[in-house]
Chain A
Amino acid sequence: QKEVEQDPGPLSVPEGAIVSLNCTYSNSAFQYFMWYRQYSRKGPELLMYTYSSGNKEDGRFTAQVDKSSKYISLFIRDSQPSDSATYLCAMSGGGYQKVTFGTGTKLQVIP
């Protein structure tokens, strides 16, 4: 079983749609959960950061973590064409430890 699993997509949605992106993981030691956005041949850009279980909202973005199910989600409301990118889930045990990434989901928002 892979440590972090993420559907690679591609996921294509119309502008204004709600987007749901998900990851599952197997390592119970993960405590910190992140979502990064990556444009083609660019560096990952930190979008959301959550500690342990719960929800966190930032503008149009909501991150959810369910540690009991080892499942994390990112919701994007009112999606825009500029949201078109690859979204990487990532997690770590904390304490400045390495970040383990999913493979990324490629999202396309069609005008």
Chain B
Amino acid sequence: EPEVTQTPSHQVTQMGQEVILRCVPISNHLYFYWYRQILGQKVEFLVSFYNNEISEKSEIFDDQFSVERPDGSNFTLKIRSTKLEDSAMYFCASSEAHEQYFGPGTRLTVT
């Protein structure tokens, strides 16, 4: 069964550093998303991406965040200058129709 994959599974970084989280969506899906979940809190939408551009973004997705589809298979989330409060699980999702399928997540720890 096709699935969304994410790397790395755990990333530790120092405050102020740049991080890139990587995702490989399901191959025939055209819509891609990033969500995050701070420990003990609900899953929150960050951004959606279609046809090489951002479709929608939340207020969390400020200028420190960017997304890119650098090739035909990868979808990345970049955080330019990480803050302590960016520590969370980051989930990539993709969809072909209305159902969104989530990856296993990257746990980002900012120290």
Binding site for B on A (CB under 8 A): 32, 34, 36, 41-46, 49, 51, 88, 90, 92, 94-104
Which secondary structure dominates chain B's binding surface?
Answer: strand
Count chain B residues whose beta carbon lies closer than 8 angstroms to a beta carbon of A: 28
Taking the closest CB of chain A, its distance from the CB of B20, in whole angstroms, is 19
A99 to chain B, nearest CB (A): 6
Please determine whether B100 and A46 come into contact, CB atoms closer than 8 angstroms.
Answer: yes
Residue B7 CB within 8 A of the other chain? no
7 more contacts with CB within 8 A, not counting A43-B104, A103-B41, A104-B42, are A32-B98, A44-B43, A44-B91, A49-B98, A96-B48, A98-B45, A99-B45
Nearest chain-B residue to A94 (Cβ)? B98
A94 to B99, CA, bound (A): 9
Q: Are A96 and B31 in contact (CB under 8 A)?
A: yes
List 8 interface pairs A-B (beta carbons < 8 Å), by A numbering: A34-B100, A43-B91, A44-B91, A94-B98, A95-B98, A96-B48, A98-B48, A99-B35
Q: Interface segment, B11-19, B50-58, B64-72, B74-82?
A: B50-58
